[in-house]
Chains A and B, each alone.
Chain A
Amino acid sequence: MRRVLVVLSGLLLVAILVQFYFAAVGAFDRPQDDDSFALHSITGMMIIPLLSILTGVAAALARAPGRLIGMSFAPLGLVVVQVLIIVVGNVISGGSDEDTSAASLFVFGLHAVNALLLGGAAAAVFRRARAFAAEKTTVDAPQPTVTPAA
């Protein structure tokens, strides 16, 4: 299960890197339309949240420290923040079909800043998952010696 945890957290990190790539694809797509950010939307709304949940579940099943389990869900929470940034920006603009204003662009720009936090969180989860897997043994079995974190 520890190996599964490492693989899942690695996939989560890769998905976030790919997500940056899809963001650029959307930004440079011509003509700019509803489909420009389709790949970005699917990855962001489905794949990253799913991998975040699976990583957290794997961490729990592997009896990882509570901190690692909790951190595994951090990308999920930050994705919600990503969506909220768009929502709040659209509200400031007056709707998703309206022109942006300086105030709404200020908010929209935070989408990229929060994305860096997302990447950082996923990287930290991956690093800790690897360290946890390397602890003591590589035997992929329940570890009765590991004390539950509390």
Chain B
Amino acid sequence: MSTAQLIALDLLATLLAAAGWVGAGVAAAARRARVALALLAVAVVVTLVRVTTAVALATGGWWFAQDRVVLTGPLLGVAGLAAVLTAGPRLLSAARAGTPGNSPAAVVPLLVAGYAAAAGLLFPFLVGYPATWGDVLVTVALVAAAGLVTWRVAGSGPPLWTFVPILAMGLAGVGAGFVTGADLDAGGGPESRHPAGHGVSVADLRGPTTPAPGGQVRRYEFTARRTTVQVGGRAVEAWGYNGQVPGPPITANQGDLVEVTLHNADIERGVTLHWHGYDVPAAEDGAPGVTQDAVPPGGEYVYRFRADQVGTYWYHTHQASDVGVKMGLYGTLVVGPPPRGVDVTLPVHTFGSDTVAGVAALPEAAPGTPVRLRLVNTDGVPHRFTLTGTAFRLVAVDGTDLNEPGEVREVELRLPAGGRYDLAYTMPSGEVALFVDGEALLGAGDAPKGWPEHDITRYGAPAATPFGPESRFDRSFTLVLDRGFALVDGVPRYAFTVNGRAFPNVPTQLVREGDLVEMTVANRGLDTHPWHLHGHRVLVLERDGQRVSGSPLWLDTFDVRPGEVWRVAFRADNPGAWMNHCHNLAHAAQGMALHLEYEGVTTPFHGGHGG
């Protein structure tokens, strides 16, 4: 059973337990001693089931069960045991004697056990991971207060002053919640942030100004502006680089110097250019508030970097990116030798209910022509692609070629938000069509159904990598993704959280140049989180404890689905300050983002949100 299914089963068991305990209390109050006894038995059984599900969850990773083990489980255990010991004998004798059995000593403990179970049900939704001391105090105080109120309503309640210690406990818990913890996570490595006070500003970490020998300069002028685009036969308001959606495609040969001058005509919220998956020098990365200030209307910023990485990449704004990318501020960046045969880049984007690919049709080609389709997911959610009419090879993922990719057919390709897949095939004599999420994207026909999902962790052949699952890591970071109430930019919200905190309160990860860094990302929530670290590609080590058995996977965006745990690694070889965030940009805007900083690098930019 998958961890996601276990989470659902655990919640169901908790719901039934809460219903059982409350039901027993209500039945006792309604003078139905036999019914109350039966419900009490059900509640005890379901509570024991819940212990099993919590233990099973812990085997998927401590994070999945932490709140159950340290707080809500023991709380329900104590309350349930007290209810059995006090209410049980009274209900038994009442049932035997045929008396009502509705004394407060029977009713109140049963209801309190119900409150404890309900707390266990609500806690994962409202607070999530981790359960802190403050959360423990508040939760216990709430259950105790509800119990006291019930006791007083039931009749012979304790005096009012008994609320005072409970109130104090709750307030102490709330106060503990406001104590902000560490703002730095060194991942087990040394913590000196700015040795000897000689930091280098991230603004000075610029790219080279000349191409590599033999390369040329590729100059582009981009002006971000409001525009109108035609989508599915209707006019849609959009924002575009040079008024185009997608923006002008950038192509280069390896070793060229790419220079893009960005202007902003009328995008009030500001714009930047972020080179997604391209490991540019930090000052060229386009993360507002981290590597530059956003370009305001009338402003300008020049980006320069060497096109060293061959492959399929894309660019997009990183300022108010949740809105900006959705509105159309994105385009493609393809680096490599001039294509052989047909080579087409498909930046897939959704406007409302219409998903478009940037071109109207797959290119015509004579049978036997080599074809390369470069799929780019510019949306915030994964897309599922199917290709009919031909077998193909998945030759590259996130710009990096796979090792010995075999031919596949009749499979579904699940492309994470922000990710890229390069598909290669030889043009057959018949029709080829591309479908996305069960709808025709390019070409006609009925979307294939029931094709199995292609698992990229078991595709292609293994090859040597500079480090691997057995390496000794200089720093290890763990990111537990969840939802819960947290401060986002100082405002309490139902946020998307990392280790229980939301941006900008998630501790900054600190690395030193040359470190080998391990990052474990666990998803405790119910949404998919495409994780994206700027400035570095990561090597996938394991998913859910299973090592990659096919081609090595160097990714810049990996989908951590509900209940999944990914272990990835990278070499800290690109000094700077970098965003590390969920590429469902709506989630990032609601807190699911943090910084990764190199020791000795400072940022003069403040007030921006990096989003």
Q: How far is the CA of A99 from the CA of B436 in the complex (A)?
A: 12
Binds B, one of A3-11, A29-37, A132-140: A29-37
**A66 at interface by CB-CB < 8 Å:** yes
**Among the listed B30, B125, B154, which residue makes an inter-chain contact with A83, where contact means beta carbons less than 8 Å apart?**
B125
Q: How far is the CA of A69 from the CA of B29 in the complex (A)?
A: 12
> Which residues of chain A have a CB within 8 Å of any CB of chain B?
30-34, 45, 60, 66-67, 69-70, 77, 80-81, 83-84, 87-88, 90-91, 94-97, 99, 148-150
CB distance from B247 to the nearest CB of A (A): 23
What 19 new A-B contacts, CB under 8 Å, besides A31-B351, A66-B154, A91-B8? Answer: A30-B352, A31-B354, A45-B494, A67-B29, A70-B29, A77-B18, A77-B19, A77-B22, A87-B11, A87-B526, A90-B526, A90-B562, A91-B7, A91-B562, A94-B4, A95-B4, A97-B381, A148-B154, A150-B104
Q: How far is the CA of A90 from the CA of B525 in the complex (A)?
A: 11
CB distance from B382 to the nearest CB of A (A): 6
**Is the beta-carbon distance between A66 and B153 smaller than 8 angstroms?**
yes
Residues of B within 8 A of A30 (CB): 352-353
Closest to A70 in B: B26
**Is the beta-carbon distance between B8 and A80 smaller than 8 angstroms?**
no
**Among the listed A32, A60, A66, A77, which residue makes an inter-chain contact with B29, where contact means beta carbons less than 8 Å apart?**
A66
Known contacts A95-B561, A148-B155; A34/B149 CB under 8 A: no
Residues of B within 8 A of A45 (CB): 494
Q: Which of B122-162 contact A (CB under 8 A)?
A: 122, 125, 149, 153-155
Residues of B within 8 A of A31 (CB): 351-354
**Among the listed A60, A88, A96, which residue makes an inter-chain contact with B12, where contact means beta carbons less than 8 Å apart?**
A88
Q: How far is the CA of A32 from the CA of B11 in the complex (A)?
A: 29
4 closest cross-chain pairs (CB), A and B: A31-B352, A31-B353, A91-B8, A150-B155
CB distance from B232 to the nearest CB of A (A): 10
**Is the beta-carbon distance between B526 and A32 smaller than 8 angstroms?**
no
**Among the listed B103, B352, B353, B526, which residue makes an inter-chain contact with A150, where contact means beta carbons less than 8 Å apart?**
B103
Residues of B within 8 A of A80 (CB): 15, 118, 121-122
**Is the beta-carbon distance between A60 and B149 smaller than 8 angstroms?**
yes
CB distance from A7 to the nearest CB of B (A): 21
**Is the beta-carbon distance between A96 and B153 smaller than 8 angstroms?**
no
CB distance from B160 to the nearest CB of A (A): 13
Closest to A148 in B: B155
CB distance from B101 to the nearest CB of A (A): 11
**B107 at interface by CB-CB < 8 Å:** yes
Q: Give the size of the chain B interface in residues (CB under 8 angstroms).
A: 40
> Which residues of chain B have a CB within 8 Å of any CB of chain A?
4-5, 7-8, 11-12, 15, 18-19, 22, 26, 29-30, 102-104, 107, 118, 121-122, 125, 149, 153-155, 351-354, 381-382, 437-438, 494, 526-528, 561-562, 586
Q: How far is the CA of A21 from the CA of B317 in the complex (A)?
A: 37
**Is the beta-carbon distance between A96 and B353 smaller than 8 angstroms?**
no
**Is the beta-carbon distance between B103 and A84 smaller than 8 angstroms?**
no
Q: How far is the CA of A60 from the CA of B353 in the complex (A)?
A: 49
Residues of B within 8 A of A90 (CB): 526, 562
Residues of A within 8 A of B381 (CB): 97
Closest to A41 in B: B494
Q: How far is the CA of A84 from the CA of B122 in the complex (A)?
A: 10
Residues of A within 8 A of B526 (CB): 87, 90-91, 95-96
**Is the beta-carbon distance between B382 and A150 smaller than 8 angstroms?**
no
Q: How far is the CA of A76 from the CA of B221 in the complex (A)?
A: 57
Residues of B within 8 A of A96 (CB): 526-528
**Is the beta-carbon distance between A91 and B5 smaller than 8 angstroms?**
yes
Q: How far is the CA of A95 from the CA of B526 in the complex (A)?
A: 7
Residues of A within 8 A of B12 (CB): 84, 88
Closest to B523 in A: A95
CB distance from B156 to the nearest CB of A (A): 8
